[in-house]
Structure 1
Amino acid sequence: MEKGLLMLMKNMRNKKKLASLEGFHKIYSGMQEIFDELFDYTIITSYEKDTIQYKNKIFIPKNILSSSFCYYPGLYRYLKNNNFDILHIRPYYRPYSLTALFYSILNKKKIFITEEQRNDPHNTFENIIFQIYLFFLRPLINIKVHKVISLTKPSYEYLKKKGFKKLVCIPITYEPKISTKEVNNKQQKLKIICVARFEWLKAHHILIKAINHIIKNNKLAKKDIEVNLVGEGILMKDMEKLCKKLNISDIINFKGKIQNKRLDNYYQKHNIFVLSSVSDPIGMVVFEAMSNGLPAIVSSNTGAKGSVHDDKNGYVFKNKDYKDLAEKILLMKNPNKRQKFGEESIKILKENHNPGKIKNKYRDALEE
C-alpha cells in the first residue's frame, strides 16, 4: 500500500500543472476528466457548482460593458504565484482570457483555446465592435497560442473562415448507453422525441409546423405518429396554443421536465429524435439520443450535425425550413431503416467519441 502511495505521489510530481479558465457547460465534463487524468489540474472560474470534483479557484467577476465581457481581479498574480505550466482558456475573447494570454507570453508558458460556437453578437452595432476587436486580437492568438481546439466541425469551419490558425478539431466524449443489439426502433408508429428548453433558439414551432404539414397533406394519419416534447421554459404555453390552433394537440404531448435518471429509459421508448434549434453550439441532447440507439434529425445550425450522417444515422434539414424537416421525418417511415440508423448512431459514438481516443488526441495536440 505504501509503495502504491509513493508511486501515486511520484506521478503527481511528474504531471504538468494545467489551469482551465471559466466555468463549463456539461459538454466539457468528459474533457475535464481527461485533463484531470493527464495533468495536475485546476479550474479557475466564477461558477463554483461546475467544479465540485476538481481543484478550483473561485473569482468574483467584474463586468466590462456586460456580464459576457468580464475580468477576474487578481488573476495575473494568482497565475504567477502558482506557476502553471499550461493554460487553457474558453472563450478566447473575454478580458480574463486576455490576462491569461499575456501571462503566458511574458512567462513563456504554453496556452491553448477550446471553442464550440460562433461568437458573433446578434446585435449589429455590437457585432461591428466585436469584429474590430477581433481584428487586433486574432494575430496575437495566431502567433502565441499553441492550439485552437474546436469541439465541432461547424465551429472548426467558422474559426477557419475567421482566419484562426493552428486549428484542430477534437470532438466531445460520449459513450453509448446501450449496445447495438439492444436497439429497438421497429415499432410501426413513428414516435418522435424532442428534449429542449422552451426558448426561441430551440424553435419548437418549426417541429410543430412540420408535423402539421405532414398531417394536413395526408402524408401520415394521426394514428401513425406521436410527438413527445420534454422540457420546460417560458415559451411552453405558446407552443401548446399553437398545437391547439393547428388541431394537432392530440398527437403532440408536452411532458415537462424528466429527471436525468429516468431520461435514458424514456428515450428508448421512441424511435426518432428531432432537434429543430435555429442555433445550438453543440446540442448535447443529440448525443444523449444517439447513445440510446435513436436516429437523429437536426437543423443545419446545430453543432452536433457533424455526428449526424445523412442517410446513415439520420438527416440534417435546412435551418428554419419546416417543410424540409417534414420531408426528413417522412424519410424515416420504414421501421427497418430506423433500426439500422439507430444501430449506426451507437457505432458513430464508439468510433468518433470514444474517451480513450479523445484522450490521445488531446495528448498529441498538447505535446506537439
Structure 2
Amino acid sequence: MSASKLALVEGGLHNVYKETYRVLSELFDVVIITSDKETRIPIRTVVLESTPFIIKSFRHYSGIYAALKKEDSDIISVRAYYRPYAIAALAYAIVHHKRFVIMEEQKNDPPSLIHNIALKALLLVIRPIINKKAQSIICITRSCAAYMARLGFKRVTYIPVPFATPDKSPIPAGTGIHSNNLRLLCVARFEAYKGHKTLLRAIADMPQIHLTLAGEGVLKKQLEEYARESGTSDRITFAGHVSQEKLAELYRSHHIFMLPSISEPVGAVVFEAMAFGMPIIVSSTVGAKDAVHEGKNGFIFESGNASDLQKKLELLRDSGLRKKFGEESIKIIREEYDPEKIKELYKKTLMPGSEN
C-alpha cells in the first residue's frame, strides 16, 4: 500500500524543522510548497513566487491553488495559518475534500498595532472555518499551544521538534575546564529581539565571568560599544559566525548556555547545547524553555530582567550543580525529543487508527 501524500505549505524553511521534515517523510510521501528559493532540505520542493498582501507579513504564493491541485495530496498542512497562502490552501482543502492540518509556532500577538488589528479582524472570519475543517492544530511549543487555545481554536495539540542526538553519551560540558571564571556561551544573531543587552547588564557587576557571543548581525558594533561603556569588554569574546565544528568546541569549552531572547518561537540552539551536556538559562519568552526543567537542568528568568538573570547565574557558580544539570540536559533531550517518539506522535495525530 502506497504512503498517503502530505503537502507542507511553508513560509521560510528554517533549520529547526529539518528533523521534523525527515520524520514526516518516513510516514508520508511529502512535498514542500514554499517561497524559499535557497532551500537545502532533502525533500521534493515546489518553489512559488511570494508577494505581500496589504501588509508585509501577510504573503500570498502565486499559483498555490494550481500547485496543490497538481500535487493532489491527501493531507494539506500549513504553517502560519493567517497568511493568504495558508487561507488559499484551506480553500483548496475544503473544495477538494482534503484533510487539513495546521502546524504552528506563533505564541503571541504581533507586536505591531496594525498587524494585531488585521489579525484580530481576520480571526473573526477564518476561526470558525478552521475549527470546522482542521483535523488538528499541531504546535511545536507549549506556549504556542496555550496561545492558540486562548485564540479559540479547537483540537490543539503539542508535538515538540524532534532532535537527533549522537549515540555516544557526551561528557557534560565544562568538565575539565580549569578556570576561576564562569564561562558563559550565547549563540544568537545580533538583533534587538535576541536580548543581548539584558545579558550584558546582568554580568556587568559580576566578576569572574567570561562571556562568549557567537553570531553576526546588524547590532554587533553597537553591542561592542555597549560592552566598552559598561566595562565588560575585557570579559567578552565576540566569536563571529562559527562553523558547526567550531560550535561543538564552544559547547564543550563553556560551563553554561544562555539564550536571553525577548522573542524566540523555538531556539534550536538550546537543544544542541543540551545534547552537549550544558546547563541552560533562557528567558521566559524563548519557545525552547519547554526543554528547561526549572531547577533540574537549568533556569528560566523573566524576559528582559537582568536582576533575575543575575540570581540564576549566581546559583550556577556551584560546579557540582552544573554537572548535575548537564547530565539532566542530556537525559531530557534524548527522552523528550527523540525522533522515534515524535514520529509516533505524528502518526497518532495524522494517521488515527493506523496499525503500529
Q: TM-score under structure 1 normalisation?
A: 0.91
Among 99, 123, 134, the residue aligned to 1:145: 134
Aligned to 1:134: 123
Unaligned runs of 5+ in 1: 1-10, 215-221
Q: Look up the SS of the partner of 1:298 in the other structure.
A: strand
Greater share of helix: 1
Alignment of 1:116-135 (within 5 A): 116-118=105-107, 120-135=109-124
Q: Residues 179 and 329 (structure 1 numbering): CA distance in 2 closer, same or farther, change over 3 Å?
A: farther
Which segment drifts farther, 79-88 or 136-145? Answer: 79-88
Aligned to 1:4: none
CA distance in 2, matches of 1:51, 1:83: 24
Deviations 1:298-330 (A, max 9, x none): 000100111101110000000110000000001
1:288 is aligned to 2:288: no
Alignment of 1:143-292 (within 5 A): 143-177=132-166, 179-180=168-169, 182-186=171-175, 187=177, 189-214=181-206, 222=207, 224-292=208-276
Measure how far apart 1:253 and its partner are: 1.4
Percent of pairs with identical residues: 39
Aligned to 2:28: 39
1:321 is aligned to 2:305: yes
CA distance in 1, matches of 2:293, 2:167: 20
Q: Residues 52 and 333 (structure 1 numbering): CA distance in 2 closer, same or farther, change over 3 Å?
A: closer
Match of 2:123, as an amino acid? L
Measure how far apart 1:177 and its partner are: 4.2
Q: Residues 83 and 229 (structure 1 numbering): CA distance in 2 closer, same or farther, change over 3 Å?
A: same
CA contact (8 A) 1:176 1:292 kept: no
Match of 1:64, as an amino acid? F
Q: Residues 314 and 37 (structure 1 numbering): CA distance in 2 closer, same or farther, change over 3 Å?
A: same
Measure how far apart 1:119 and its partner are: 5.4
Q: Residues 276 and 111 (structure 1 numbering): CA distance in 2 closer, same or farther, change over 3 Å?
A: same
Q: Residues 179 and 81 (structure 1 numbering): CA distance in 2 closer, same or farther, change over 3 Å?
A: closer
Q: Look up the SS of the partner of 2:148 in the other structure.
A: helix
Match of 2:327, as an amino acid? E
Aligned to 1:61: 50
Q: Look up the SS of the partner of 1:337 in the other structure.
A: helix
CA distance in 2, matches of 1:342, 1:169: 25
CA distance in 2, matches of 1:57, 1:180: 39
Unaligned runs of 5+ in 2: none
Aligned to 2:86: 97
Measure how far apart 1:213 and its partner are: 3.5
CA distance in 2, matches of 1:144, 1:181: 45
Q: Look up the SS of the partner of 2:185 in the other structure.
A: strand
Q: Look up the SS of the partner of 1:70 in the other structure.
A: strand
Q: Look up the SS of the partner of 2:110 in the other structure.
A: coil
CA contact (8 A) 1:178 1:292 kept: no
Measure how far apart 1:82 and its partner are: 2.7
**Runs (4+) of structure 1 moved beyond 6 Å?**
none
Q: Look up the SS of the partner of 2:38 in the other structure.
A: helix
Larger radius of gyration: 1
